[in-house]
Amino acid sequence: MKYNELNVTANKNRKRVGRGISAGGGMTAGRGTKGQKARTGKKLRATFSGGQKSLVQAIPKLKGFKSKRAKAEVVYLDHLNSMKGDIDNFYLFENNYISSPYVKVKVIMRGELTSAVNLKTQAASKSAIAAIEKAGGSFMNTPVPQQQKTTE
């Protein structure tokens, strides 16, 4: 294939219809003959199906809603056995139990807690709080840490 044989249509001008028979797009101007689509003014919706029930009306709609609120990340109580002292979001993040220190954390019951820990997270189940206090620790409800914005 040679350079002069390339079929390039990137800068092709649009066809101007309705400018007379000799211009090549006259008379019906590509709209066919008669009917609603041949007329000016009224345009048909994309969902219009000739007056019968359209597909959009026929299919069932999704019910309810989807919450945009981020769900709390779960940490199990038996994970706290290997930890000591104060446990907060940053401590859990450093030990790879949560994805970020700036997310909501909930500790739920699983297994037994043997070490006394001071838990400072956003939520915990009632049974988990009872197990922490039974082991000699404490639970304190704290807000989600806010990320510091850097000013440059």
Give Cα separations from 121 to 19, 106, 118, 150 (angstroms). 74, 7, 10, 25
Q: What phi, psi does 78 have (nearest 5°)?
A: -70, -15
109-134 tens-digit pLDDT: 988 888 889 999 999 999 999 999 99
pLDDT at 147: 85
Alpha carbons 131 and 116: distance in angstroms, whole number: 10
pTM: 0.55
9-50 tens-digit pLDDT: 777 788 888 888 888 888 888 888 888 888 888 778 888 888
- Pick the more confident residue, 129 or 83: 129
Q: Which residue has the tokens 């092709």?
A: 12
Q: Residues of the chain with pLDDT > 90: what percent?
A: 36
Identify the CA nearest to 124 among candidates 69, 71, 70, 74: 74
Provide the mean pLDDT of the chain.
Answer: 87
Indicate whether 108 pLDDT > 70. Answer: yes
Segments making up each domain of the chain, as ranges: 73-141
- CATH number among 3.100.10.10, 3.40.50.300, 3.30.465.10, 3.40.50.620, domain 73-141: 3.100.10.10
